[in-house]
Amino acid sequence: MGKSLEVLVKESSYALVLGIGGGGDVVGTLPTSRYLRLLGIRTLVGGLTWERYVNDPEPGPRKMEEIVEIKRLSATVGLANARTRTTKEIRFTESVVAEVLGEETVLVDLNRGVQGAIDGLNEAIEQLGVDLFVGVDVGGDVLAKGSEVGVHSMLADSMVLASMVNLKVPVVLGVLGCGTDGELSFEQFNQQVARIAGYGGFLGARGLTPDDLKVLDEVIPKTKTESSALAVKAARGLQGEIEIREGRRKTMLTPMSAMTLYLDPRVVFDRINGVAKELVPTRSLEEAQGVLERLGVPSELTYERKYVWKRRASDRPSGGKK
């Protein structure tokens, strides 16, 4: 059985709390970051260079070379500030969080595959003096096997999960907002958490507090995150079936949607996520994408590429071709 988060904190002084699914997952790190600070250690929050298509129409994560106003810590990790943006002038959600918090945030680039993420994170962790890593997924699709009908985006979080279990510091997996991404159903999510608990991988849980909500209320309106916003709504009593993603998906909100569950990532890697093990040797995003294609597992990269193609096609004059 893994150590609880509280025990790990007693053995640590500085935690990196990283949103592992890209997009607005960095927002979901804030309650855990606040919790760790209340327990007496410093924290640094961050996420991936992968903004969703509603913010950045270019598919996939941005390479470090495509980012300006970033302090490079390694080939795949950098510190962002309020001015950090892509070369096409698109701000990251991490830049917004940096502005609200008044402190730097972390950006991780997955373009060099899991091996690049492992090397880059270990180098950055050593430079910063970080001695605890908490990866936070909002919604919980990191707990999927990969064969579930509703799962659409297992690439980024599975790549980070595969990286986490190969870091040189203790690691914890946090999942905020049971099913708020509309991928695992409420029943599937609970079944997976029960399986993890059966293997000794349930390390604790914490609900959103009124003080968490104050911080989230300041950040969320300045971003395009949807899943973290639903966690806030659940903390204020909203429940029942909710349409999300412009009506393309549905999710069931319950009081559990306002909680962050803390899990042993090694158990999730070994026993639950059916994709992460296969991703460990990858040295590029395309190689990782190829693994999901071979396994028949849906990827957000595939979706973004098809979405952008369709959008651009619809913008062409009638009858026109390129």
Residue 297 CA, distance from chain mean position: 18
Between CA 205 and CA 72 the distance in angstroms is: 34
* Residue in this structure with the two tokens 């640590």, named with its chain if needed: 12
Residue 12, domain member (yes or no): yes
- Per-residue model confidence (pLDDT) at position 311: 55
Q: What pLDDT, on a 0 to 100 scale, did the predictor assign at position 246?
A: 64
Average confidence (pLDDT) per 10 residues, the chain, 322 residues: 87 98 95 98 98 91 98 98 97 98 98 98 98 97 92 94 98 94 90 97 97 98 92 95 73 93 98 97 98 95 78 42 32
Task: Give pLDDT, residue 315.
Answer: 47
Q: From its phi and psi, is residue 252 left (phi > 0), alpha (psi between -120 and 50) or beta? A: beta
142 within 8 A of 161, measured Cβ to Cβ: yes
Amino acid in the structure at residue 109:
D
Whole-number pLDDT of residue 183 = 87
Residue 83 CA: distances (Å) to CA of 48, 49, 95, 102, 236:
16, 14, 6, 12, 33
Q: Does residue 320 sit within a domain?
A: no
Q: Is 85 helix (H, G, I), strand (E, B) or coil?
A: strand
Pairing of strands 132-138, 105-108: unpaired
Residue 81 lies in a domain: yes
Tokens 């260079």 correspond to what residue? 49
Asked if the structure places residue 218 within a domain, the reply is yes
CA distances from 163 to 116, 221, 318 (A): 9, 31, 46
Q: Is residue 96 part of a domain?
A: yes
The pLDDT value recorded for residue 310 is: 52
Residue 321 inside a domain? The answer is no
At residue 309, the pLDDT reads 47
What is residue 318's predicted lDDT score, i.e. its pLDDT?
35
Give the chain's end-to-end CA distance (angstroms, integer): 58
User: Based on the structure, what is the number of domains in the chain?
Assistant: 1
Q: CA nearest 205: which of 31, 37, 10?
A: 31
Q: 285, 301 in Cβ contact below 8 A?
A: yes
The answer to whether residue 322 is domain-embedded is no
What is the span of the domain harbouring residue 109? 5-315
Could you give the CA distance from residue 152 to residue 188 in angstroms, rounded to a whole number? Answer: 14
H or E segment and range at residue 136: strand 132-138
Domain membership flag for residue 35? yes
Residue whose token pair is 């970080």: 130
Q: How far apart are CA 245 and CA 261, in angstroms?
A: 24
| CA-to-CA separations, 256 to 159, 236, 262, 272, in angstroms, rounded | 26, 12, 13, 20
Q: What is the pLDDT of residue 243?
A: 82
Q: How far apart are CA 9 and CA 21, in angstroms?
A: 24
How far is the C-alpha of 114 from the C-alpha of 168, rounded, in Å? 15
pLDDT for 33: 98
